[in-house]
Amino acid sequence: MSRHAIHLQKAIDALKRMILSLGADVENSVKQAVQSLAQRQIDLATKVIETDAEIDQREVDVEEECLKILALHQPVANDLRLIIAILKINNDLERIGDLSVNIAERAIYLSNVARVDLPFDLQKMAEKVQSMLKRSLDALVNRDEKLAYQVCADDDEVDTMNREMYGCVEQAIKKDSANLNSYIQLLSASRYLERMADHATNIAEDVIYLVTGDIIRHGSNFSQEEADF
């Protein structure tokens, strides 16, 4: 290996650690946001909102590092593809962080009003979305296209759950319009989860492209558009 190749490899390894560490923090933010919603924990929700500034800064740092590597090392082929994939994944992770903040904001609102009941398991949906995010990052680490395809397939399930949630909210509002606002806030939380799943799917699609060269995004099976309800 030339000295140049060694330097590039070191820079890429450091970049990988940066994106995985950001990924872990975003996973944690999602987990806490979902928990604050389920358990009406205003403190935890506030923490999610406050720590988002760190996630935002880390996204900027990763992008700067990508640009530095491109400028200094001028990578080609697989290395180039990897850096571009990390640039895109970085963006998706930051957006997932923003969506955690959105859920935490709903959690604060809902913690301050009477609890409403819905015959829908939002927790199960949240667990599915968290698992998609985790697996999309595992697929990146292990260059595991099979796992990435699984994540893409799961996105359809989450879309279906979001549609079911809509049906539940519709029925609930018709029976109990006094709590309209709470139901709409819960529906928002479901939609934020659905958008998180879209971002996890984007990450998985980037992994598939990285590993196989196949572009599967925008495919008819893995539609990026939101569920039509």
Neighbours of 165 (CB within 10 A): 24
Nearest CB to a copy of itself, comparing residues 44 and 66? 66
Find the part of the chain contacting a copy of itself (CB under 8 A) among 20-28, 68-76, 117-125, 150-158. Answer: 68-76
Q: Are 182 and 114 in contact (CB under 8 A)?
A: yes
User: What one-character DSSP code corresponds to residue 221?
Assistant: T
Q: Which of 127, 98, 92, 81 is nearest to 204 (CA)?
A: 92
Of these, 53, 123, 141, 212, which contacts a copy of itself (CB under 8 A)?
Answer: 53
Phi-psi region of 100 (alpha: psi -120 to 50; beta: other; left: phi over 0): alpha
163 binds a copy of itself (CB under 8 A): no
48 binds a copy of itself (CB under 8 A): no
Tokens of 193: 């989860």
- Least Å from the CB of residue 202 to a copy of itself: 9
Tokens of 42: 């205003």
Nearest CB to a copy of itself, comparing residues 38 and 72? 72
Q: Are 91 and 59 in contact (CB under 8 A)?
A: yes
Of these, 18, 20, 42, 80, which contacts a copy of itself (CB under 8 A)?
Answer: 80
Find the part of the chain contacting a copy of itself (CB under 8 A) among 24-32, 38-46, 116-124, 216-224. Answer: 216-224
Q: How far apart are CA 224 and CA 195, in angstroms?
A: 9
Question: Which residues make up the interface to a copy of itself (CB under 8 A)?
Answer: 53, 56-57, 59-60, 63, 66-67, 70-71, 74, 76-77, 80-81, 84, 87-88, 91, 95, 98, 101-102, 105, 166, 170, 173-174, 177, 180-181, 184, 215, 217-218, 224-226, 228
